[in-house]
Amino acid sequence: MDLMKQIKNIAIIAHVDHGKTTLVDQLLRQSGTFRANEHVEERAMDSNDIERERGITILAKNTAIDYKDYRINILDTPGHADFGGEVERIMRMVDGVLLVVDAFEGCMPQTRFVLKKALEQDLTPLVVVNKIDRPGARPEEVVDEVLDLFIELGANDEQIEFPVIYASALNGTANTEPDQNVDNMQALFETIVDYIPSPRVDANQPLQFQVSLLDYNDYVGRIGIGRVFHGTIRNGSQVSLVRNDGSLVEFRITKLFGFKGLKRIEIDSASAGDIVAVAGKEDINVSETICELGQNMPLPELHIDEPTLQMRFLTNTSPFAGREGKFITARKIEERLFAETQTDVSLRVEKTEVPDEWEVSGRGELHLSILIETMRREGFELQVSKPQVILREINGEICEPVEYVQIDVPEEYVGNVIEALGTRRGELQQMGATNQGQMRLVFHVYSRGLIGFSTEFLTLTKGYGMISHNFLEYRPKLREDVGGRRAGVLVSMENGKATAYSIMGLEDRGTIFIEPGTEVYEGMIVGENNRENDLAVNVVKAKQLTNMRTANKDNTVVLKRPRVFSLEQSLEYLDEDEYCEVTPESIRLRKKILDKNTREKANKKRKNENESE
């Protein structure tokens, strides 16, 4: 058999939590890639702690398995809209996609997004209806939904003739019929081999290798991962790199890696069609082409989605700065932020006019919050400002991003959701019942109207609603404010430890965020006010001790449970004049100006300026 026919390059694409990573697990196990006595974690492709805890894939991963005479290169892609940039670049590395769809949930917004990208690249699709063992599964109806989506997205006749595999990735089973009993994934392997085309390449042409993903290693520096489109790439060879700006630079390949299971293995050479990793150029970038010397033929540039959200990152200036973190200086934070841009091409980091402050732009709140969470786990202390959407000038007009939002909720909450998104300038596009007895609502909402909406949405739907959204387009900027927090906050006016006595006295004023014994400082946010204005409060006041016996002396003090914010919820909650202080052990909300009198003067000045405009 011709060597080129033995390679199959596929990407696994799906909406978040439809079972891509678990499916890859089973393919790895059942292909005999692991030794019989080798211990392998569940969801082995999700390699970092945050991915494991949240059950989501953040970075695209690649692996390779051998099945019969075939080398199957598999790319596991993120399902969340914030990491869509990873998905797009991967489409150029593969010849086919496994579209995984939940047998209960059916097609979701991200299913539409990833399938659209795959069809635009003219890739061969194979549909896997996963979780067929789930209660309420409706595999046949889901296949009809998928077919409707293909037609809606303009798939050609060949793409519409997709094969369907019915699988339970959790149980490691797959078959061509939904009700057949099998105990392996043989049918999926065979369908990949029979249906996904081999790379259409020529090993005799001059070398062309394009970088699609980046990795970083302390020993060899930046690593470019991509596909060999033509020719042969060899370790130790001198090659030329065609930059994105058209310039040329020569370098020697110091390491060449192939993939086998979860391991990266050193190899001497790789032929056209294979997916490999190249080291030797410290500043290699996504979309750049490696060619043979004197044969400089760059491949078409890869599209990288522009960031839509930005935040200010600052050194920690609170009274508690330096207590909990290992890395607290501006130099350390700057090094870490710029190091992140080495591997995450959707991230932008720029210095600002203010020392010790950086503007960090990303694809969404989750994208940025995972960077912050990673940094705090590494021992960093920092402060961040409220997320802001990035405006763009299009045809001389200032425009802002708009999102496609899909919501599934029980019928009794529909009115609440429509009203809440109406106040955030959401436009209802579709409404109808789903097969699961829920109502499905589709909105177009300005991105800044969605900042802070997730927490409100959970409250509105009592946790029963599901919301998914991804970037739709840029539209002319709205003049009025959209979204944002309506309630004011309770701000500590003293330093010290919060007491049960003072918290009990404040419970009627709003919702408390802290427990008795929590150390607070002046300017720290300790709760939410029932009204729209901010209120300075004393949470460290202790009860006066006297010799007088009171009637309610023996009553037990029962305090309400404080509202505890996750990192994402904290970022969503922030207002313009506030920071989120992040340390390895704590997440605190605070006012930018800590002193009460100075803050009130600044607020009055800002209010007067707004009125004069």
Q: Which residues are annotated as a binding site for GTP?
A: 17-22, 130-133
First to last CA, the chain: 75
Which residue, among 217, 253, 262, 201, has the nearest Cα to 74 in the 3D structure?
262
Show Cβ contacts of residue 409 under 8 Å, excluding neighbours closer than 6 positions: 417, 438, 439, 441, 461, 464, 465, 466
DSSP states of 220-244 as a string?
TEEEEEEEEEESEEETT-EEEEE-T
Letter for the amino acid at 274? Answer: D
Cα–Cα distance for residue pair 256/74, rounded to 1 Å:
19
Show Cβ contacts of residue 51 under 8 Å, excluding neighbours closer than 6 positions: 43, 57, 58, 59
Show Cβ contacts of residue 465 under 8 Å, excluding neighbours closer than 6 positions: 407, 408, 409, 410, 413, 417, 457, 458
Q: Which residues are annotated as a binding site?
A: 17-22, 130-133
Cα–Cα distance for residue pair 515/189, rounded to 1 Å:
55
Phi, psi (5° rounding) for residue 571?
-65, -40
Give the number of other CB atoms < 10 A from CB of residue 508. 7
Question: How big is the chain, counted in residues?
Answer: 613
DSSP H or E stretch at residue 449: helix 447-450
Letter for the amino acid at 599? Answer: R
Under DSSP, is residue 445 helix (H, G, I), strand (E, B) or coil?
strand
Show Cβ contacts of residue 277 under 8 Å, excluding neighbours closer than 6 positions: 215, 223, 224, 225, 256, 257, 258, 259, 264
Show Cβ contacts of residue 598 under 8 Å, excluding neighbours closer than 6 positions: none
Q: Assess contact for 431 and 480: CB atoms under 8 A.
A: no
Give the number of other CB atoms < 10 A from CB of residue 436. 13
